[in-house]
Structure 1
Amino acid sequence: MTTRAIILFCSVFFVILNLHQICAFQVPVKRLRSSELQKFRIPRAAKLRSYMNESVDPCFDFYEFACGNWPSLRPASEAIQSTSPMKDLEDAVNKDLQTMLEEVVNRNDGQVGRKVKDFYTSCMDSENASRTVKHAFMNFAKVNSGMPAIDARFDERSYNWLIQISNLRKNFGMDILIGLNIKPDMQNRQDSRIYISEPSTLIPKGICKEADFKNSRYEELQTEITDNMAYWFDMDKGDGSKFATDLLDFETTLCRGMSEEVGPDVFPNMTRMTLSEMNSKFPTIDFQYFVTTSLGQPIPQTVYWQHELYFIHLSKILRSTPKRMTANYIMYRALLAISFPEESDKDMRASLCVEKCMKHFSKVVGEMYNRKNFNTETVEDIEQMWSKLRESFKADINSQEWIEETTRRQAVYKIVGMQLRFANYMKDLLHNEYGSLKIDRVHFWENILSLLELDQKNEVKKLYNNGGSKAPVGKEVEAFNINVGYSPMQNIIRMPLGLLQDPIYHRTAPYSYKYGVLGFFIARELVHGFDEIGWNFDETTAMRLWWDMNSTLLYKERAACFREQYVAYAGEGSGLSPIELDDKIREIIADNGALNISFNAYLQWLQKTDEPHVLYDETLSEVDYTNTQLFFISFAQNFCTSTYSKEEPIGFFPWDVPNYLDKFQVNGLLWNMREFSREFNCQPGTEMNPGDKCIIY
């Protein structure tokens, strides 16, 4: 039988026979491809094959099978601490942005584009920044309530910590000791509301709360703070080290009153009340003064707040802590927000300056990147994939008998209402936002302060603006980003253009490749709409617990399986705090569901594709694997990693082996997937096909 006859035979029996068995071609298909296809597929096939270690049995260790040659071909080093496809993508996007920012201003950039390029120029002048940093930082500290560590004339009697943090929040948007955010109202998406919560910390929250002084992050921060004080103020190493120790001790004490929750998005634990009611509840903290001063206007409406125990603890700590210590901590955090590394290497500084531009001119840089990279055919291709992924998840939800019927029905409504959006920019709005901003090509530190002031003004506009209309609110993903984002309060998945390039996506790639890589990333955000955070919002994006009690309990039982699986694998090697472990399990559940959803979406696409020439293109030349096997190989290679270590691993424990935890990102998902075992003929009881499997979606 000829190859063409085989394909026609497959097409005729698509619906009758088992789809994945028929369409996973066992005979490599040879076909002359167009030049456009060849341009991507030949080098991609060569790379894919080169990273594989085909001497390893895929049923024993699929990560090693798919990525075994990566560390030797793409080794990490002291200069490059890690290598991975996502790191390659990040570097490629940053390089594109650097080139874009270094180009001569053109007509399409407009006045706002000129400002971001002028800021980039001022940032790249490392000599001028280093020469003026001490004067700039001394002056900033002086006009913002002072810093005893550098000012012998600091007046402790007149010092008031609340005045200091309120003015820093008002002028520069800095959240220190008290967290203040403006977000969509949980009960009314069309409105905005103030959220008061714990602030961020220098020390990662889990490490800080546990007071894990043996953690290497403490030593790193000690050095970092010491070096910063030397750079900013010429403080000698001994004084700088003592300053750092006192600062970290203060923050560790502060952390003891912090919650076990995962930051300000733990929606069910929020309380709503007026500022005067908060003052009555916490008489030692004048929240009405803090919020009114921070936002520059009276706030009559109620606010959301959480972390009551933290604010009780904060009051006690500040009463017992010398004012000099409090002032030093607050001012250090403020200076850190405007600081920039002392970096003279041109390439390294360029990378850091690009990051600053992305942070402070996010929409301007996004518009410039979008203008350069937007492609209608690519968007149409992604939207087609999105439709298949959504249909796949709907079918999956409807098949989950452990979820009560009423909850399943509401879940389907939410899936139907979920949208995938690309960034959209209107230059008139950008001009309104940045038109009054003063930026020049020389004064870097002044430029930073101007940008922080503008960021704060735009933050307040989310609550009100002078015309009384609301400014846009919600989580944004800019065109240059490389991570897909889901907003549970809007039920929107935001797709960045930065992700849509090799090695993650190419328009001419086989769909087995597209669904295995990009489809997985999109589906992961789909699943986040139905996890322990996402299920707090229903299909209308109103905040309510719409899962029934029985389904919720069964979900948590199934989630416990994933926790046991990961803990058994990682042992003591994970190094995660309880809070971080909760986050990790949530991501593992999303990853497992995403791979199932994306694979089934690919099968659905195959089922509706009856054109032989399209089916020919579902494999890669010189890669002797079926299309469905290519799906899993492509997925796995997205997580190939090499990490640098100064010391050779001891080897006493499994987690001492390089990339041991990285392997779980691949193998841990495939253990739970029967379709994978079927495609690679992994027999029950083999390493990659254990008897106990964890499944939610």
Structure 2
Amino acid sequence: MYFSSLTLLWVVLIYTILMHCEARSVMDTPDISESNDKPTADYLQIYSDLMKSYMNLSVAPCDNFYEYACGNYGKVKPDRYSWHRRSTFADVVYTLSDIAEQLVGRMDLAEALNVSSELMVAQRFHNACLGAELYPSNAADPAYLDLIRSIGGFPAVDGAAWSASNFSWFNMSSHLTNYGANGLIREALLAAYPFEPYTKLPELGFDHIVNEVNFASNSSRAYKLNEERMRGYLKAFNLPDDKIDEVIAGVFAFWREALEVPQQCEVFYPFPIEIEFPQWRHYYDISWNGLHVSSKKFCDFYYIELDKVCQRHPEAVANYLAMQLLYKLDPKLKAPKYQRDYCAVTLVTSMSFLFNKLYMANNFSEEKRLEVSEIIQELRKSLRRSLEEAEWLDKETREEALLKESGIQTRIGSFKDNSRSDRLIRKIGSLKVVNESYALTNINLQRLIVEIERFSSRHFEELANDTKPQTMLLGMQVSAVYWMLDNSINVMAGLLEPPIYHRSWPLPLKFGTLGFTVGHELTHGFDTTSSYYDGSGNLRSWWSEKSRQDFEERAECYMDHYGGYVIPEINRRLNGKTTMDENIADNGGLRRALAAYRSHKKQLLEDPDQARISEQMPGLELTPDQLFFLGFAQVFCSEYEEEHYWKDLTNEHTIDKYRILGVVSNSEDFFQAYNCSVGSGMRPKAETCRIW
């Protein structure tokens, strides 16, 4: 839709941007963690062996660099708890959960930091989790059923006692948001003050989201996985098979009709519209005690049409929502051996601000911070050179771009807001651990998690209007982010673990992993979205018309390039438009990282006091540049099932495999490092895309 008013376009743009200002981010190896006591040579050999174990050396790097670098990851990856896709980047959470498992016993540290009472709560929860019988799923626990009945009911279980006339699908969905469950309201929070809630279009399904394509046949994986999940929950209530079949068929019939509702969302238009969905007030009353009701960021047209479908299938909708709550409360263990992992990961994710305080005091060293600061400075110098050398920028736009770069703030570890962090930690003290019922404890925990996530949004009136998102206070997370509203780059402490960083690594590996990650975030300051913000974080058009046109033409090259990739597992193309900013950041980030490595190496060699520079990993017969590219690729080794492709297909980040392929196939430096000729798999043609 096009609007004649320029002012209106800017308003729509800023709402669009802020609703997508989530943290942009690009091992189970406890014996090679930062704190191990082994000599560096031994450690490097261990990690080199790990890197080699991921590789498929039968594939030439110029034919398929992802397969060459990561082809064996699925076979050798650590056996850990997971109910989503696995990747080396995401696997860092296991390193952090292992650390949390150690920190949960550190009462001495907690006392020194004045969080001992909160750590005692964490200990009680951890012991309750370890001692509970979580496999198989305890879906039929009376506590879960009581909760379901209190918010809408479970007709499959309650039969004639459930009344359709007293049921509101919208109210039940609103209640589900209080436990973090994905019903028919998919809540998100704006990343900028005052952190209002808004809704994304719901995703139907459990282990596999469904759409018109993947749900067309009862032999499809989407059909089978969702049927299996629901059958498991319904069997727990000892329902007969014919009743189970009837309930599942009803949910599937509801899904098929719901999938026909046009996917239109009015969320980006903060002005009166002709059609309004009248029930939103209930959501704000149930989920927010009436707070933020005037913010009006909903998908009215979609919900008006969805309501018509739900009115035709009230019993199926209630059953679906009841099972969605069970799905949220379900640890989803595949075997009893994963329970310890689950409990440790839950500590990190549910009590993140407590463990962040312990982690930052115990595990984040000044030596790490100083080296990361040095790497960031090299990347920023590399970025400035890129801005200076971009021949397509005119003089005025270049000066503005350089001014923006000079104003970038750097934060390593986390953003400091001690008062808010302490208040978030104190929330943990309210968790009631019920010794005789893990189900009740779990319900209380899920409610606490949501309350913590909503904290800044609930208390916005007590906060300054330049308050940062509370996720930026968490150093113990695997994340880096460029924050356009204050022109800052934020590298979180939890990111500084293998496969992203280790102090003992040789320079090309550090720059190929952490250097790429930093370069990626810096490049976000000059992508198609952040380019509308100036060096002070103000929404302002600082580009000349010609430079903006040249920029957009170059950006389209990336859109076309990535849009050409077909995912054979689901026979779908990547969306080059949705992922464009991330692809620009990937390509610019890796180019800047290699230039920064070469510049840093040159400076070191010119220093007469500099000892020998480490540029190789033992046992990997690679040049420094080849090691650089291998390190980059192995940040994104992954293992996908069909459902993960469908889930990530709509993500702003390109699917891992194609992130690697897309970058190296646009890199002249990669072609030179591996001697790739035109016509090879990684270099199908001579032309490449480039902005920065």
Asked whether the two chains share a fold, i.e. TM above 0.5, the reply is: yes
Q: 1:517 aligns with which of 506, 509, 513?
A: 513
TM-score (norm 1): 0.77
- Give the root-mean-square deviation of aligned CA atoms: 4.2
Determine whether 1:449 maps to 2:443.
Answer: yes
Instruction: Indicate if the aligned counterparts of 2:560 and 2:576 stay in contact, CA closer than 8 A.
Output: no
The one-letter code sitting in structure 2 at the alignment partner of 1:220 is: L
Q: CA deviation at 1:394?
A: 2.7
Name the CA shift for 1:206/1:243 in 2 (closer, same or farther; >3 Å). Answer: closer
Cα distance, 1:136 vs structure 2: 1.2
What amino acid is aligned across from residue 250 of structure 1 in structure 2? F
- Is residue 217 from structure 1 mapped to residue 222 from structure 2 by the alignment? yes
Match of 1:198 in 2: 201
Unaligned segments of structure 2, at least 5 residues = 1-36, 643-654
- Higher mean displacement: 384-393 or 622-631: 622-631
Q: Is the 8 A contact 2:254 2:313 kept in 1?
A: no
CA distance, structure 1, for counterparts of residue 428 and residue 175 of structure 2: 23
Kindly provide the amino acid, as one letter, of the partner of residue 368 in structure 1: L
Q: Specify whether residues 374 and 306 from structure 1 end up closer, same or farther in structure 2 by C-alpha distance, changes over 3 A only.
A: same
User: What is the Cα deviation at residue 381 of structure 1?
Assistant: 0.6
For the pair 1:164 / 2:154, whether they are aligned, the reply is no
Q: Quick one: which amino acid aligns to residue 367 of structure 1?
A: K
1:150 matched residue in structure 2 = 157
Contact 2:562 2:575 (8 Å CA) reproduced: no
Give 1:137's aligned residue: 144
Distance in 2 (CA, whole Å) between partners of 1:666 and 1:455 is: 34
Q: How many angstroms apart in 1 are the aligned matches of 2:83 and 2:120?
A: 33
Name which of structure 1's ranges 146-155 and 534-543 shifts more when overlaid on structure 2: 534-543
2:238 aligns with: 234
Partner in structure 2 of residue 694 of structure 1: 689
Q: Per-residue CA shift, 1:174-197, capped at 9, x if unaligned?
A: 564334444355xxx5x4434344
User: In 1, are the aligned partners of 2:206 and 2:324 still within 8 Å (CA)?
Assistant: no
Residues 242-286 of structure 1, C-alpha deviations (whole Å, 9 max, x = no match): 32332243234334335378xx9xxxx61225xxx67x842x523
User: Is 1:677 equivalent to 2:665 in the alignment?
Assistant: no
The aligned counterpart of 1:122 is 128
Deviation at 1:111, TM superposition (A): 1.1
Please identify, of 330-339 and 111-120, the stretch whose mean Cα deviation from structure 2 is larger. Answer: 330-339
Structure with the bigger RCO (C-alpha within 8 Å, sep 6+) is: 1
The residue aligned with 1:657 is: none
Which is higher, the Rg of structure 1 or of structure 2?
Answer: 1
Is 1:337 the counterpart of 2:337 in the alignment? no
Q: Does structure 2 retain, via aligned residues, the 8 Å contact 1:196–1:303? A: no
Counterpart of 2:263 (choices 253, 259, 264) is 259
| AA matched with 2:151 | N
Q: Which residue of 1 aligns with 2:587?
A: 592
CA distance in 1, matches of 2:686, 2:588: 19
Task: Provide the rounded CA distance (Å) in 1 between the counterparts of 2:188 and 2:105.
Answer: 34
The code of the aligned residue for 1:627 comes to P
Please, which of 57, 74, 99 is the counterpart of residue 96 of structure 1? Answer: 99
TM-score normalised by L of structure 2:
0.77
Contact 1:183 1:474 in 2 (8 A): no
Retained in 2: the 8 A contact 1:504–1:518? yes
Once residues 641 and 183 of structure 2 are traced to their aligned partners in structure 1, the CA distance between those partners, rounded to angstroms, is 35
Measure how far apart 1:148 and its partner are: 1.5
Residue segments in structure 1 that go unaligned for 5+ positions in a row: 1-33, 646-660
What aligned pairs does 1:282-293 form with structure 2 within 5 A after superposition? 282=276, 285-293=278-286
Is the CA contact 2:517–2:589 (under 8 Å) kept in the aligned structure 1? yes
SS at match of 1:401: coil
Cα deviation for residue 309 of structure 1 reads 3.1
> Separation in 1 of the partners of 2:66 and 2:333?
40
Once the two structures are TM-superposed, the CA of residue 227 in structure 1 deviates from its matched residue by 1.1
2:247 is matched by which residue type in structure 1?
F
Aligned equivalent of 2:480:
484
Residue 312 of structure 1 is aligned with which of 274, 292, 304? 304
Cα gap change, 1:128/1:688 in structure 2, threshold over 3 Å: closer, same or farther? closer
Alignment correspondent of 1:616: 613
Q: How far has the Cα of 1:139 moved from its partner?
A: 1.0
Q: What secondary structure, in the 3-state scheme, does the structure 2 residue paired with 1:271 have? A: coil
| CA displacement at 1:457 relative to structure 2 | 3.9
Q: CA deviation at 1:376?
A: 0.9
Partner SS for 1:420: strand
| Whole-angstrom distance in 1 between the partners of 2:191 and 2:175 | 24
Question: What SS does the corresponding residue of 1:332 show, helix, strand or coil?
Answer: helix
Correspondence list, 1:169-180, <5 A:
169=177, 172=179, 176-180=183-187
Instruction: Note the C-alpha offset of 1:595.
Output: 1.1
- Once the two structures are superposed, the pairs formed by residues 40-439 of structure 1 within 5 Å of their partners are 40-45=43-48, 58-63=61-66, 66=69, 85-86=88-89, 89-101=92-104, 107-108=110-111, 110-127=116-133, 133-151=140-158, 152-169=160-177, 172=179, 176-185=183-192, 189=193, 191-202=194-205, 207-208=210-211, 212-214=215-217, 215-231=220-236, 233-257=237-261, 259=263, 270-272=268-270, 281-282=275-276, 285-297=278-290, 299=292, 302-319=294-311, 321-341=312-332, 345=336, 347-415=337-405, 416-423=407-414, 426=418, 428-439=422-433
Worse overlay, 175-184 or 197-206: 197-206
Secondary structure in 1 aligned to 2:686?
A: coil
C-alpha spacing 1:340/1:509, structure 2 compared with 1 (3 Å): closer
Q: 1:596 to 1:230 in 2, by over 3 A?
A: same
Q: 1:139 to 1:566 in 2, by over 3 A?
A: same
Cα-to-partner distance string for 1:173-221 (whole Å, 9 max, x where unaligned): 6564334444355xxx5x4434344344436998526564245223211
Letter in 1 for 2:196: R
Q: Which moved more, 1:95-104 or 1:111-120?
A: 95-104
How many residues were matched structurally? Answer: 628
Structure 1: distance between partners of 2:505 and 2:281: 57
Do 1:206 and 1:579's aligned partners in 2 also have CA atoms closer than 8 Å?
A: no
Determine what percentage of the aligned residue pairs are the same residue.
22
Determine the structure 1 residue equivalent to 2:624: 627
SS in 2 for 1:419: strand
Distance of 2:445 and 2:669 partners within structure 1: 52
SS in 2 for 1:149: helix
For residues 80 and 197 of structure 2, what CA distance do their matches in structure 1 show? 45
The letter for the 2-side match of 1:617 is S
Q: Secondary structure at the match of 2:270?
A: strand
Judge conservation of contact 1:259–1:307 (CA < 8 Å) in 2. Answer: no
Counterpart-to-counterpart distance in 2, 1:197 and 1:82: 22
Deviation at 1:135, TM superposition (A): 0.9
